[in-house]
Amino acid sequence: MTDSRRDLLQVLAQISELDPHVRLGQLLTNLATMARGPKPESVWDGEDEELLAAGERLLERLRERQTAVAR
């Protein structure tokens, strides 16, 4: 397993903890769209590194939202 894939799986787990109602298929599709745009081939063509970067951005947004709600 590559480091990128390992990191991506960890980010997916963290996102799932913060937003448990999103199904895995939805999450992967959302990350592919964030990484490559709203095209059907985004899911197929997305590289692990691209999905990881998108996942890290989404994770940051979820953490910011959680912080804002806690205030």
Domain count, the chain: 1
Mean pLDDT value across residues 21-31: 96
Q: What is the pLDDT of residue 29?
A: 96
Q: Higher model confidence: residue 70 or residue 53? A: 53
Q: For residue 68, is pLDDT > 80? A: yes
Closest CA to 33 of 57, 5, 2: 57
Give dist(CA 20, CA 25) in Å, integer. 13
Domain that holds residue 36: 3-70
The vertex-16 CA angle with 50 and 64, nearest 5°, equals: 80
Give dist(CA 10, CA 71) in Å, integer. 27
> pTM score, two decimals?
0.91
**Are 4 and 48 contacting, i.e. CB atoms less than 8 angstroms apart?**
yes
Q: For residue 71, is pLDDT > 80? A: no
Q: At 67, is the pLDDT very low, low, confident or very high (cuts 50, 70, 90)?
A: confident
